[in-house]
């Protein structure tokens, strides 16, 4: 089944491969009978819940591509001023929805000549922060402090560190001229930025949630600063808006995508094997957050399992479906034949990334919102994200009260490794063996790496992830801490509870103190301690919900440690599948 828009606009081409196409037809008929499409555009909150709380004030994204067009001249003028000033680097400090769309655009669309390149910093891992600090000297750097709430812990810590660093080199007045805030009106960040006299404060529409904010100042300002033509981005999204307004569901790409996701989930296929072509890998991170944080609640959740060839080892499973996104190439025809052979529900979305990324952003925002209605959940809140935050805050408060940092104590030891488990075990080997044996019956396994995302480490972790897919025969995902806490972390704690979790940590070779105030005196908290509190906070949050998890601390040599761990796994006598 294929659908191609009949207008001159070439996007989208949607190809569906279905074992039971009548189920999708029934879902489309339901959309028509219950007026799902016009009700969404009318912002009818009863699509999701009988009460409007955290829904009626979260639908501003629907009209954002059109409403933001009048702001384009001001944003572009600011970007031209930044270019003229001679900034060489832009360093975005933000988490989740404040950073992922800008990261996609920076990697997909190269900065225009003369405009500064954009670097995204969304971590508390000290080595990564130090690397970015060394790369971006204050005199040549414009800092974007981006937080919808204005209270995001990681962003606040990064801001205090980099503002103090810039103040020490440039003086307080000139340092403030190197900082820009993007936040909602009236937030603590808004107040601090005003008091410190930032170069610019961009206030976003408070009715647009973080993960739906690609077409707000959170996405558009970082894009424009790189010289990206933001009007073209909005125009692409507006084209998709028009297509998603078609009331005939079979002519509406958003309705087709929603129906595919909803019918797959209704059949128990709630894990989606996502094959993205290499040039748009960063889009998968944005999409993973959008879907996981929107649907992972009330015992439900749609999980993306991002990968390539190794995903084919999972296509026989009865709880997965398949998604392909990219520009048609040799893999396109091969994969269509493969999913037909395996009789796995699949959707193929063909588009031109550089011209149509705006349309793709909007398509998935629209479909994710509507699939929330099919699942009878509110896709605009994130009730379980707070659980880890509270655990982390309690740990930090305890350490501060005692004026003592306990370090990493106890654990099951093997070589330079330490293992901590939510289940009792007599040895490192027994704990690992029991965990992996049980994981063969898990819904999925999530690797959570609180490690520097260096190329060598990424390669080693991808090798571990693929090894576990082939060993367990189950979906295995990889998330980088702490950024996953603002993404799949909601789903991990809000879904049906059958996932397994594996934290990976290592010694920090460097560390930096986080100032108590911007440009103020240094406090007792360091990035290493903040990261460790986040690791323990999420561990306790998952354990308190009865989730099965382990933590393995690798020591100092991360890449070598992962390889040794892979060898150990290969030697384990795991249970038969």
The domain covering 2-59+247-374 belongs, at the CATH homologous superfamily level, to: Glucose-6-phosphate isomerase like protein; domain 1 (3.40.50.10490)
d(CA 416, CA 209): 43
148: nearest Cα among 68, 76, 86, 206: 206
Structure confidence at residue 277 (pLDDT): 85
346: helix, coil or strand? Answer: strand
Confidence check: pLDDT of 7 > 80: no
Please list the helix, strand and coil fractions of the chain in percent, rounded to the nearest 5, in that order: 50, 15, 30
Mean pLDDT of the chain: 94
Confidence check: pLDDT of 10 > 70: no
pLDDT tens across 158-181, in order?
999 999 999 999 999 999 999 999
**Helix or strand (DSSP H, E) at 478:** strand 476-480
Q: What's the topology of domain 385-571?
A: Rossmann fold (3.40.50)
Please give the structure tokens belonging to residue 476.
């295995």
d(CA 257, CA 248): 14
565: nearest Cα among 447, 438, 441: 447
Q: Are 147 and 183 in contact (CB under 8 A)?
A: yes
pLDDT tens across 195-235, in order?
999 999 999 999 999 999 999 999 999 999 999 999 999 99
Distances (CA, A) of 68 to 75, 204, 218: 10, 10, 12
Angle at which helix 217-225 crosses helix 100-108, to 10 degrees, equals 30
Task: Enumerate the CATH 3.40.50.10490 domain ranges in the chain, comma separated.
Answer: 2-59+247-374, 68-228, 385-571
User: Which residue has 């190794």 as its token pair?
Assistant: 310
Query: Which band of pLDDT confidence, cut at 50, 70 and 90, is reported for residue 12?
Result: low
487: Cα separation from own chain's centroid: 4
Determine the CATH number of domain 68-228.
3.40.50.10490
SS (H, E, C) 156-203: HHHHHHHHHHHHHHHCHHHHHCCEEEEECCCCHHHHHHHHHCCCEEEE
Q: Are 460 and 449 in contact (CB under 8 A)?
A: no
Alpha helices in 414-557 (DSSP H): 428-439, 455-472, 488-494, 527-544
Q: Are 177 and 30 in contact (CB under 8 A)?
A: no
Query: Which band of pLDDT confidence, cut at 50, 70 and 90, is reported for residue 282?
Result: very high
Query: Which band of pLDDT confidence, cut at 50, 70 and 90, is reported for residue 5?
Result: very low
Q: Which residues, in sequence order, are CB contacts of 246 under 8 Å at separation 6+?
A: 37, 252, 255
């Amino acid at each position: 089944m294929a659908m191609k828009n009949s207008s001159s606009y070439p996007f989208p081409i949607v190809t569906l491969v279905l074992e039971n196409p009548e189920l999708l037809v029934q879902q489309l008929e339901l959309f028509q009978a219950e007026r799902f499409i016009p009700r969404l555009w009318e912002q009818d909150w009863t699509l999701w819940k009988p009460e409007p709380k955290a829904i009626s004030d979260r639908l501003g994204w629907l009209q954002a591509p059109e409403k933001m067009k009048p702001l384009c001249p001001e944003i572009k003028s600011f970007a031209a001023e930044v270019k003229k000033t001679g900034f060489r680097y832009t360093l975005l400090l933000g988490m989740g929805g404040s950073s992922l769309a800008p990261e996609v655009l920076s990697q997909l669309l190269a900065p225009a000549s003369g405009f500064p390149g954009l670097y995204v910093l969304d971590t508390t891992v000290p080595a990564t922060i130090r690397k970015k600090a060394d790369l971006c000297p204050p005199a040549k750097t414009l800092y974007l402090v981006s937080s919808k709430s204005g209270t995001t812990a990681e962003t606040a810590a990064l801001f205090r560190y980099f503002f103090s660093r810039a103040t020490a080199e440039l003086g307080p007045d000139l340092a403030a001229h190197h900082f820009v805030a993007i936040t909602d009106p009236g937030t603590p960040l808004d107040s601090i930025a005003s008091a410190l006299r930032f170069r610019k404060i961009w206030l976003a529409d408070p009715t647009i949630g973080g993960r739906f904010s690609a077409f707000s100042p959170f996405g558009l300002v970082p894009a424009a600063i790189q010289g990206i033509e933001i009007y073209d981005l909005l125009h692409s999204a507006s084209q998709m808006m028009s297509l998603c307004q078609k009331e005939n569901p079979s002519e509406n790409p958003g309705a087709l995508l929603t129906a595919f996701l909803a019918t797959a989930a209704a059949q128990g296929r709630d894990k989606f094997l996502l094959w993205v072509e290499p040039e748009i890998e960063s889009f998968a991170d944005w999409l993973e957050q959008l879907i996981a944080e929107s649907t992972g609640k009330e015992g439900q959740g749609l999980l993306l399992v991002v990968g390539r060839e190794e995903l084919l080892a999972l296509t026989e499973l009865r709880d997965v479906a398949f998604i392909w996104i990219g520009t048609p190439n040799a893999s396109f025809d091969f994969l269509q034949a493969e999913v037909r052979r395996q009789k796995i529900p699949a959707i193929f979305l063909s588009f031109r990334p550089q011209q149509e990324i705006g349309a793709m952003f909007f398509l998935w925002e629209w479909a994710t919102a509507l699939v929330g209605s099919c699942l009878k959940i509110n896709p605009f809140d994130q009730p379980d994200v707070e659980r880890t935050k509270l655990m982390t805050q309690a740990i930090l408060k305890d350490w501060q009260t005692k004026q003592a940092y306990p370090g990493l104590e106890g654990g099951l030891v093997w070589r330079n490794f330490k293992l901590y488990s939510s289940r009792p075990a007599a040895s490192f080997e027994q704990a690992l063996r029991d965990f992996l044996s049980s994981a063969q019956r898990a819904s999925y396994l999530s690797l959570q790496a609180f490690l520097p995302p260096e190329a060598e480490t990424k390669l080693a972790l991808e090798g571990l992830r693929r090894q576990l897919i082939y060993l367990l025969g189950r979906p295995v995902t990889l998330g980088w801490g702490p950024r996953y806490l603002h993404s799949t972390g909601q789903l991990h704690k809000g879904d049906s509870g059958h996932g397994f979790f594996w934290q990976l940590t290592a010694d920090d070779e460097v560390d930096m103190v986080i100032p108590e105030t911007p440009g103020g005196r240094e406090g007792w908290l360091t990035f290493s301690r903040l990261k460790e509190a986040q690791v323990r906070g999420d561990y306790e949050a998952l354990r308190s919900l009865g989730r099965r998890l382990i933590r393995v601390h690798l020591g100092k040599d991360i890449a070598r440690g992962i390889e040794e761990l892979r060898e150990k796994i290969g030697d384990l006598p795991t249970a038969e599948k």
